[in-house]
A = this chain, B = another copy of it.
Amino acid sequence: METDDHATVGALRQAVAAFVNDRDWRPFHTPKNLSMSIAIEAAELMERFQWLTPDEALAAMGEPAERAAVAEELADIVIYCLSLSNALDLDVSSAVLGKLQTNEHRYPAGEFQGRFRRPQRNKR
């Protein structure tokens, strides 16, 4: 089975498209339904960490069964993201690389070392 080193995003999109089309599920794949589905799966991923402290979450990530569960939830999210890109014919790689470039300018590395907010004079 292909791994991230060799699998193109396009190949994954095709695998998802084949699965969806084989079941004639495209009619359900409206952008509204798919955006809802991504959020639903994102919540299932959050559930794995719902009550864990940071240390407990770290320990959990050392357990193979728990890592596998997280990987499966992540796969569900990504599959719906790829379904949306297929439904709307959006190029995921261009969108990702383009957004990283936008963020390069929005969050210059020099000013945002180890921080996610510009230093402010008044508190918050």
Chain A interfacial positions (CB closer than 8 Å to B): 1-10, 12-13, 15-16, 19, 22-25, 27-28, 30-33, 35-40, 42-54, 57-58, 61, 63, 65-67, 70-72, 74-79, 81-82, 84-85, 88, 90-100, 103-104, 107, 109, 112-114, 116, 123-124
Contacts and interface: CB of A to CB of B under 8 A. Distances in A.
Q: Is the interface of A mostly helix, strand, loop or mixed?
A: helix
B54 A46 contact: no
30 contacts: A4-B8, A4-B93, A7-B93, A8-B9, A15-B96, A19-B103, A19-B104, A22-B109, A23-B109, A23-B112, A23-B114, A24-B113, A24-B114, A25-B112, A30-B58, A31-B57, A32-B49, A33-B51, A35-B49, A40-B50, A43-B44, A51-B116, A66-B124, A72-B95, A75-B92, A77-B77, A78-B81, A78-B92, A78-B96, A79-B100
Given A35-B42, A50-B40, A103-B19, A96 B114 contact: no
Given A23-B113, A91-B3, A74 B70 contact: no
A61 B88 contact: yes
Contact of A72 (B32, B48, B99, B113): B99
